[in-house]
Amino acid sequence: MKTTGIRSTWGTSSVARSAVTLVALFASLATAAAQQTQYPLPAELPNPYRLVDHWPALPPEMNGGRWGEVIRVHVDAKGNVWVFHRCFNVVPAGSATCVGRGAANPPILEFNPAGKLLRSFGAGLFAYPHGFTVDTDGSLWATDVNDQPTILGMSATNSAGVVMGQEVLKLSPDGKVLMTLGTPGVGGAGPNAFDRPTGVAISATGDIFVADGHAPNQHNAARIVKFSRDGRFVTAWGRRGSAPGELDEPHDIFIGGSRGWVYVADRRNRRIQVFDQDGGFIAAWTQFGQPSAVFVGSDDTMYVGASFQDAARKKGELRGIVVGHAITGALSAFIPDPTDLDSVVAGTSASGIAADAMGSVFAADVGAHKLRKYVKIR
C-alpha cells in the first residue's frame, strides 16, 4: 500500500476510501503529536565540533584559491570529499552561473581526506549546478536547475547547441556522462521532464530519487520522482501545499540510515519530511528549522543545514547545522554558522552537507562562498 498526502494506488471502493481516510487521519495525528513535542532551541544545544582552519587546500591557480558559490558536498566510500560548486562564480548572487566560465573553472572537484585536490572536471556540462551525490558504485549524480535559454546575456547552450538545465546527469568518477534523466532545456512535470530538479539520491538497490521544484518554477512542481536504476520512470509523489506529504520547494533529498527512509528538506514549509521509498508518509519535523540540506549517516545521525527565525540576531535569523536522530527526530547538537551575516549578499549556508565515517561534518556554503569541515571534539 502506498499512501501520501496526494495520491494512493487504491481503487474507489468504499473500503479503500475508508482505509485511505484512516491512514491520513493517523498521519495527521502523528504530525500534530510531533509538533506538540517540546524541543530545545538551537542555542540551548551543545556544540561538540571544532572548525578545521584552512581546509581544503584549494590550488591558487583556481580563482586565486578563492571559492565562489558552493552548493553541495559528498563523501565517497574511500573517504574522499567531492564538491559541486558554481565554477568559482558569485553572479547572479545566490544563483551563480557556470555559463561562460570555461575550462579553468570546473564545477566538480575531488579532494582526499587531508584536503588535497585530486582531480577536477565538468566544465561545459552545467549552467546552474544544484543537486549532487555519489552512489555506492562511485558514480556521480548531479542536477542542473537552469530554466532559461540565456543567462546574463550569454547563451546557456552546450557544445552540441542544446540548452543546459532541467536534467539529472550520471557521471563516471572521471567525468564521462553515463545517463541523462529529463529532457535537457525542456521543463515539465511529467515522467520525462523536470521543473528545476534540486536534488538526487540513490537507494541501496540503485533506485534513483529526484527532488523536483526549485522556486520559482514554471510548472508548479513540488514532488519526488522515482526511477529504476536503469532510468525508467517508476512513480512520483507530492504536490504544492503544506499538508502531510505535500511539498513547497523540496530543496534537498537523502536516502539513508538503518531504515533506508527518504528524507526531504521541505524548505518553504520549514520542515523535514520523511517517506518510505514508495512515497508513504512517515513524519514531518519542524524542530530542524528551515532546511536547505539534509544528510543521514548509517548510525541514524541526521545533519540538517538550516536557519531559524530569531529577532535578536543579525538579519533576524540564526544559521547553522542541526544534529539529531533520523528515526525519532530528537535533537542532540547545533553547530552555529561562523559567518557574519552582514557579509552575505545572498544565498544560504550549509546548502549542502555530508559526514564521513569518523564523524567529521562538511558544509557547502552558497552565501558565504566557503567549504567548511568540522571534527568532533567530545
Residues 81-105: pLDDT tens digits? 999 999 999 999 999 999 999 999 9
CATH number of the domain that residue 270 is part of:
2.120.10.30
Q: Distance between CA atoms of 370 and 70, rounded to whole angstroms?
A: 6
Q: Is 1 a domain residue?
A: no
Position 372 scores a pLDDT of 97
What mean pLDDT value characterizes the chain?
92
Number of domains in the chain: 1
The answer, yes or no, to whether residue 7 has pLDDT greater than 80, is no
Position 37 scores a pLDDT of 82
Q: Is 342 a domain residue?
A: yes
* In contact, 308 and 290? CB cutoff 8 Å: yes
The model's confidence at residue 22, banded by pLDDT at 50, 70 and 90, is very low
The answer, yes or no, to whether residue 325 has pLDDT greater than 80, is yes
Q: Is 322 a domain residue?
A: yes
Compute the C-alpha angle 18/21/26, nearest 5°.
125
The model's confidence at residue 180, banded by pLDDT at 50, 70 and 90, is very high
Position 20 scores a pLDDT of 43
The answer, yes or no, to whether residue 21 has pLDDT greater than 50, is no
Give the dihedral of Cα atoms 363, 205, 193, 232; nearest 10 deg.
160
Q: Is 312 a domain residue?
A: yes
State the SS3 of 110-154: EECCCCEEEEEECCCCCCCEEEEEECCCCCEEEEECCCCCEECCE
Alpha helices (H) along the chain: 14-36
Q: Is 7 a domain residue?
A: no
> What is the arrangement of strands in the sheet containing 331-336, beginning at the earlier edge strand?
290-296, 301-309, 317-325, 331-336
Q: Is 145 a domain residue?
A: yes
Cell triple for 375: 571534527
Mean pLDDT of 159-166: 97
The model's confidence at residue 28, banded by pLDDT at 50, 70 and 90, is low
The model's confidence at residue 36, banded by pLDDT at 50, 70 and 90, is low
* Span 38-83, pLDDT tens digits: 899 999 999 999 999 999 999 999 999 999 999 999 999 999 999 9
Mean pLDDT of 13-27: 45
The answer, yes or no, to whether residue 176 has pLDDT greater than 90, is yes
Q: Which of 318, 376, 326, 377 is nearest to 349 (CA)?
A: 318
Q: Which residues neighbour 345 within 8 Å (Cβ) at sequence distance 6 or greater?
A: 90, 93, 94, 367
Point out the least confidently predicted range of 8-12, 184-188, 276-280, 320-324: 8-12
**Residue 108 three-state SS:** strand
Q: Distance between CA atoms of 331 and 53, rounded to whole angstroms?
A: 26
Range of the domain at 285: 14-376
Q: Is 4 a domain residue?
A: no
Mean pLDDT of 280-300: 98
Point out the least confidently predicted range of 10-24, 123-137, 204-218, 297-311: 10-24
Q: Is 183 a domain residue?
A: yes
